């Protein structure tokens, strides 16, 4: 029974008053004491219902054109007081603070004002301070306080009042608290979006879509040359930075639509560039280039022979920059050492968003479990780990083929793993790569042995995959029969 609470005192301060009359009259019928301020107080008085002014409780008037109304210890103390805390009760008595167990408050229409007004002063005035504070305080103390934070909740709240005559359950209070935090989160996000529009992008994924970036690019890189960075540029830049961070050896990568179309690790940057480009010289056109070592003049001369949109490096030789800057629209980015990338990922979906931790797992040799009779040698292990790093950053379903630390080809974003493999093989053959004794990496397990059979028939002899299929044994059996070597990582790397 202690989780049931009867509403005794309500604080009401709202912008929208539609359907509020029903609530106020019901509370009055239940002998609930009502506290209010401003226009809401006047609205309640006009209904002929007794209401106590906030000023009478705080002994302090509204100030600054109504900017400060409810922000007072006698209000927030009454909301945040914990019913089972003896010290809280003592302080309520000491400072003559009324317990408030119902808060009905909404927020100034900030988003609507942004849409309809070009006046920054008017928009700023619609950033709610007192309302958002009341919502958060009430929601935090849901064990003792019921909070109604939107006019869209009025009718549901009236049903609760009618059902139990002003008695609420802990589950009801917690659910309305959840709704309140969702509202406050969206509200703050809209404010952030407004202030973030200084990073307005040329357009979104397509020219008819508006877009902007909310963040601090200058903490990641310095822009040395080129046109304004676009939405799609940023997606490729982010994908490239995440990919290149996997490699310690001298490495060059070429990205297109967030996937690597060329990548190679070599003893020097020029060779890394040449072999990365050889992986797919067609897709490299208009791509994003990234390397992890100082970009020298010779490499710049070779790079300058093709058209690309963005290049990223940790440093540049002065002569290299002169060459690269010959194209005024070419975006040249200097990567900073103290990079602070996000470790969380969010995606809007339906009427909310999805959250997940970023995939920060990178397999090392110790993580590999050889499941076939033949074990890979050191050279093959190096290639397997190399390919596995790339497939981790490739859109699923994904297959990556590699040899001698060079990306030979990949099958990207296919609806079946077989199709991804066939795409990769066809592409490798198109660019005249020899697949004999190459390695294959898969972002997820093989549900059947058909993929390894296709791989074997194309000359692939080494496989790295997570494992975990109910048919792993049949896949392993085929590899053993054909004297292929396969290792399991135990970790799937889906990327959607």
Q: Are 399 and 417 in contact (CB under 8 A)?
A: yes
pLDDT in the model for residue 212:
84
Give the number of other Cβ atoms within 10 Å of residue 130's Cβ. 20
Which residue matches tokens 């795409």?
423
Q: Residue 94: which of 79, 72, 73, 71 has the closest Cα?
A: 73
Q: Quote the CA–CA distance of 427 and 280 in Å, as a whole number.
A: 8
pLDDT in the model for residue 198:
63
Find all residues with CB under 8 Å of 422, minimum gap 6, and list them. Answer: 411, 454
> Which positions are catalytic?
140, 257
Q: Quote the CA–CA distance of 163 and 153 in Å, as a whole number.
A: 16
Query: Angle at Cα 124 formed by Cα 119 and Cα 125, nearest 5°?
Result: 100
Kindly give the parts of the chain with pLDDT less than 50.
Answer: none
The SS3 assignment for 453 reads helix
Q: Residue 433: which of 216, 250, 275 has the closest Cα?
A: 275
Q: Are 454 and 429 in contact (CB under 8 A)?
A: no
Give the number of other Cβ atoms within 10 Å of residue 446's Cβ. 26
pLDDT in the model for residue 56:
86
CA dihedral 170, 173, 178, 182 (to 10 degrees): 180
Helix (H) and strand (E) counts for the chain? 18, 21
Show the tokens assigned to 63: 């100030």
Q: Which helix (H) or strand (E) holds 105?
A: strand 102-105
Cβ neighbourhood burial of 144 (10 Å; 0-12, 13-18, 19+):
buried
Q: Are 103 and 146 in contact (CB under 8 A)?
A: yes
146-148/251-256 β-pairing? unpaired
Show the tokens assigned to 11: 């604080």
Neighbouring-strand partners of residue 251: 265
Helix axes 20-29, 154-164, angle to 10 degrees: 20
Structure confidence by residue, pLDDT tens digits, 31-51: 999 999 888 999 999 999 999
Inter-CA distances, 234 with 197, 288, 312, 340, Å: 16, 10, 12, 16
Q: Are 441 and 402 in contact (CB under 8 A)?
A: yes
Structure confidence by residue, pLDDT tens digits, 63-76: 677 677 777 888 88
Q: Quote the CA–CA distance of 423 and 397 in Å, as a whole number.
A: 11
Q: Quote the CA–CA distance of 390 and 159 in Å, as a whole number.
A: 56
Show the tokens assigned to 438: 């190459």
pTM reported for the whole predicted model: 0.75
pLDDT in the model for residue 433:
96
Neighbouring-strand partners of residue 252: 264, 291
The SS3 assignment for 462 reads strand
φ, ψ at 210 (rounded to 5°):
-75, 155
Q: Quote the CA–CA distance of 241 and 341 in Å, as a whole number.
A: 9
pLDDT in the model for residue 193:
81
Cα 272 off chain centre by:
32
Show the tokens assigned to 231: 């939405």
Q: Are 20 and 148 in contact (CB under 8 A)?
A: no
Q: Quote the CA–CA distance of 44 and 54 in Å, as a whole number.
A: 13
């Amino acid at each position: 029974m202690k989780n049931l609470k009867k509403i005794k005192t309500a604080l009401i301060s709202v912008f929208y008053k539609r359907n509020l009359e029903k609530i106020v009259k019901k509370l009055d019928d239940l002998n609930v004491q009502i506290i209010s301020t401003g226009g809401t107080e006047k609205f309640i008085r006009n209904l002929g219902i007794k209401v106590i002014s906030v000023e009478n409780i705080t002994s302090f008037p509204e100030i600054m054109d109504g900017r400060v109304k409810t922000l007072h210890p006698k209000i927030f103390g009454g909301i945040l007081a914990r019913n089972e805390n003896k010290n809280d009760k003592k302080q309520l008595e000491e400072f003559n603070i009324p317990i408030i167990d119902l808060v009905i408050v909404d927020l100034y229409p900030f988003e609507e004002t942004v849409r309809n007004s070009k006046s920054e002063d008017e928009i700023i005035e619609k950033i709610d301070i007192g309302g958002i504070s009341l919502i958060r305080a009430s929601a935090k103390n849901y064990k003792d306080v019921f909070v109604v934070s939107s006019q869209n909740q009025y009718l549901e709240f009236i049903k609760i009042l009618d059902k139990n005559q002003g008695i609420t359950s802990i589950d009801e209070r917690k659910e309305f608290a959840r709704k309140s935090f969702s509202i406050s989160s969206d509200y703050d996000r809209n404010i952030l979006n407004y202030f973030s529009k200084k990073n307005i992008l040329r357009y979104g994924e397509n020219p008819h879509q508006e877009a902007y970036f909310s963040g601090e690019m200058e903490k990641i890189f310095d822009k040395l040359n080129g046109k304004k960075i676009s939405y799609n540029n940023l997606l490729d830049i982010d994908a490239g930075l995440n990919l290149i961070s996997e490699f310690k050896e001298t490495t060059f990568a070429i990205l297109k639509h967030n996937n690597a179309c060329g990548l190679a690790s070599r003893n020097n940057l020029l060779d890394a560039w040449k072999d990365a480009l050889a992986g797919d010289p067609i897709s490299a056109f208009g791509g994003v280039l990234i390397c992890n070592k100082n970009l020298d003049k010779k490499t710049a001369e070779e790079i300058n022979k093709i058209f690309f949109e963005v290049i990223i490096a940790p440093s540049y030789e002065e002569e290299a920059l002169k060459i690269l800057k010959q194209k005024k629209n070419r975006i040249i980015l200097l990567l900073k050492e103290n990079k602070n990338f996000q470790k969380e990922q969010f995606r809007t979906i339906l009427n909310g968003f999805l959250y997940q931790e970023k995939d920060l797992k990178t397999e090392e040799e110790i993580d590999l479990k050889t499941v076939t009779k033949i074990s890979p040698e050191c050279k093959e292990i190096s290639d397997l780990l190399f390919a596995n790093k790339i497939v981790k950053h490739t859109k699923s379903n994904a297959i990556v083929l590699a040899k001698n630390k060079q990306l030979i080809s990949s099958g990207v974003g296919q609806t079946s793993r077989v199709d991804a493999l066939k795409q990769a093989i066809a592409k490798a053959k198109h660019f005249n790569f020899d697949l004999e004794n190459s390695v294959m990496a898969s972002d997820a397990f093989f549900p059947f042995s058909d993929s390894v059979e296709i791989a074997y028939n194309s000359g692939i002899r080494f496989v790295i995959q997570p494992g975990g299929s109910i048919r792993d044994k049949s896949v392993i059996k085929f590899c053993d029969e054909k004297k292929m070597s396969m290792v399991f990582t135990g970790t799937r790397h889906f990327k959607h």
